[in-house]
Amino acid sequence: MYKSATPTFSIITVTYNAEAVLDDTLQSVIAQSYHRVEYILIDGASTDGTLAIAERYKTHITHLVSEPDKGLYDAMNKGLALASGDYVCFLNAGDAFHSSDTLLQMVHTLPKGSMPDIIYGETALVDAHRHFVRMRRLSTPEVLTWKSFKQGMLVSHQAFFAKRTLTEPYNLQYRFSADFDWCIRVMKKAQTLHNTHLTLIDYLEEGMTTRNRRKSLIERFRIMAVYYGWGSTVARHLGFVWRLVKVR
């Protein structure tokens, strides 16, 4: 139990040639009315104007790294290694906090004097013009446990705030769904998971996982089998397995 619920947040953004979308993400972090934040930007040696944008906001960036990496999750691991906040959050380039007081509202929902192991909420999908498209197809559960993800990734990675002390590096054997595996591992350690009942994130509809939808689903299926068993996973996804067999 903590004396006061005034957590610090490590917000981590990973970029590679994100010139077209990074500004919106940076602006949403800077605009937060809750100021106990460190902002970490990990860039994969971009060749466009990404670093020029970061330079404009350098006074708001706690750590800026730009160097080649082994992919998205390798870059996320670099961000985790630099984080020092009570909670970590991964806000992808193009994504944004839902409002300028998202973090403040979230903190106000915390049980008095406590900091849960995981804080989570809803995600809205937006288009390239930041217009609302719809809420995520998968519904955020009222009560979240590590077994909840048998149904899929019911909470988006961006709307999943984990205590830094519970986190581990991402498993780089997964190219498209290491975040799914990571969230399950964190939840297995967690004792308290808090539903804010708030929309926390505006998610840019087109992302790496969206562009590689089939590969991502196959990886998620493999991850589910690891944690929930092959029999249970196949039984829950018979239609999906049949579609994969037909495609092959």
pLDDT in tens, 206-234: 654 455 777 888 899 999 999 999 887 78
Residue found by looking up tokens 């591992």 in the block: 185
Q: Give the SS3 label for residue 228.
A: helix
Q: Provide the token pair at 36.
A: 């106990």
Q: How far is residue 143 from each of residues 72, 105, 121, measured CA to CA in Å?
A: 30, 19, 11
Q: Is the pTM of this model over 0.75?
A: yes
Mean pLDDT of 27-32: 97
Contact yes or no for 47/126 (Cβ under 8 A): no
Backbone phi and psi for residue 228, each to the nearest 5 degrees, phi listed first: -115, -5
Q: Nearest-CA neighbor of 7 among 107, 156, 141, 117?
A: 107
- Position 235 confidence tier, pLDDT thresholds 50, 70, 90: confident
Q: Give the SS3 label for residue 82.
A: helix
